[in-house]
Structure formats: C-alpha cells, structure tokens
A = this chain, B = another copy of it.
Amino acid sequence: MADELDIPESHPRYESLLTRHRIEAGVEKGITSKQGLIAEGRGEAFDYLLGERTLESAETAERVAAAHLLLADRPVLSVNGNVAALVPGEIGELAAATGAEIEVNLFNRTDERMAAIASHLREHGAGEVKGLDADGRIPGLEHERAKVDADGIESADVVLVPLEDGDRAEALGEMGKTEIVIDLNPLSRSAQVAAVPIVDNVLRAVPNITAHARELDEESDATLEAIIAEFDPNAALQAAEQAIRSGDLK
C-alpha cells in the first residue's frame, strides 16, 4: 500500500522514504511517541546491518506465523503506535486474511493515543478495533502496562506482537499464549521469548505473513501443523545474528 507518498516503488530508497513519511505522519497525528521515534531509529540501524532485506530464515518464520494464525481459535494482532503508523492498512489486510482480531496495546497508554490509533487503523480499512475496553489484565505487569481486552488479548491463543517491549512479551508467554514477535534485533528479549521470532522490518514482514496466509488458506490443519513442527526458533535467531555479523554492512 503506497499511501500518499508520491514516488515510484522502484525507487532504491522507496521503503526507507515511505517509512520516514509514515512515521512523521504518525507524530503529527499523535500516534508515534518520542520513545517510538527512538525505537524506529534502533530498528533502522539493525535493518541496515541486515542489508534491508528479508532473510530466508525470516521468510520461513513469516510462513510459520501465517500457519499459526490460520490454525488459531482466537488469534489477535497487537498494535502499538509504531505499528499503527508504519503498517495501518497492512495490519487490516492480515486480520482479514487470517480472521484475527486487532487490538491496540500501548507501552505508554493514554486515552488520546488509544483513540487516535484506533481511528487511524479504521481510516486504513480495519474493522473492529479492540483495546479500548481494557477489562482484562496480563498478570505480572504493573497496572497501566497490564491492561488488555478480556475478549481480545486476554483470551487469545495466538498473539502477533510486532515491536513489543520485553517485559510484556515475557508476561504474555507466561500466560501460555503462542507468541509471534516481529523485531529487528535478534537478541532482544522479545525475540528470544517468542515461539516465532521474525527478525525483519514490519513493512516487509506483515505483508509477507498475509501473502503466506492467503496461499495456505486452503491447506489442511495437518499441513499447517507440519509447517509449524519443522520450525526452530533458535535456528532462526542464530541465522539473523549470523547475517548481522557476517554481512558486508553496506
């Protein structure tokens, strides 16, 4: 989805310019926080070291993520400020392709940001957006960080948490949920605790998961389970770390 950026997709810096453009729009709309901008910069550096491409190991993880979302009884896509700013339309498409719910979940929760993000997602085609009720809790986190919807993340079996904070990723794992994490730092705690760590840029990862979900949509549960069973999260993390270490860094 090209949004309102007026340059061709073939431009060598297209993805980078689109990212910058959407993040700046996010700041103007009150969606992206100061911490979100710093986090964006951290992601840029790791993506640069990875060569700004989807590793084969990440592509595999994205396929496994699609299988998990399709097999799940109650899949939820957790959306924070940066995710909403960067891939608002792509999250809606992934939800539609997998039957997942969308829930806004912020590290720095304020009513204004919650509302701004929900309306931004709806403007980009999302249906129902959860997270505003906040009638559920994640055990082990302090009050504001713990808030979720009872019929959303609290009762989900599979949760996609792109760009998630380490504490919350760990707490969600302890609730027994199958966690799919998208994080460009293979050594972040979030990536380390995930059942499916995807070391890739959300701009590439989310549409890739959607494409895999569409392709796998007609497959049997046994086929999806076989795809999942073959996956080794530690091998995926090691491949990403290896790419950072041995890449030509240009």
Interface residues of A in 178-216 (CB under 8 A from B): 185, 187
Copy total for this chain: 2
5 contacts between A and B (CB under 8 A): A37-B38, A37-B41, A41-B44, A45-B46, A49-B244
Contacts of A40 in B (CB 8 A): 38, 41
Within 8 A of B (CB), among A10-68: 23-24, 27, 34, 37-46, 48-49
- CB of A170 to closest CB in B, whole Å: 17
Contact mask for chain A residues 215-250; partner B; CB cutoff 8 A; 1 contact, 0 none: 000000000000000000000000001001110011
* Cβ contacts under 8 Å, A42 to chain B: 41-42, 44-45
A41 to B42, CA, bound (A): 4
Q: Which of A27, A37, A187 has the most CB of B within 10 A?
A: A37
Residues on A lying within 8 angstroms of B by beta carbon are 23-24, 27, 34, 37-46, 48-49, 185, 187, 241, 244-246, 249-250
A41 CB, min distance to chain B CBs, angstroms: 2
Q: Which of B37, B48, B249 contacts A34 (CB 8 A)?
A: B37
Where chain A touches its partner, the secondary structure class is: helix
Which residues does chain B contribute within 8 Å of A187, judged by CB atoms? 249-250
Given the complex, which residues of B lie within 8 Å of A38, measured CB to CB? 23, 37-38, 40-41, 44
- Could you say which residues of chain B place their CB within 8 Å of the CB of A23? 34, 38
Q: Which residue among A40, A42, A48 has the maximum number of chain B CB atoms within 10 Å of its CB? A: A42
A246 to B38, CA, bound (A): 25
- A221 and B187 CA atoms in complex are apart in Å by 47
Q: Which residues of B contact A37 (CB under 8 A)?
A: 34, 37-38, 41
For A32, give the chain B residue with the smallest CB separation. Answer: B34
Residues in B whose Cβ lies below 8 Å from that of A39: 41
Q: Which residues of B contact A45 (CB under 8 A)?
A: 41-46, 185
Give the docked Cα–Cα distance between A38 and B187 (Å). Answer: 20
With a CB–CB cut-off of 8 A, which chain B residues contact A44? 38, 41-42, 45
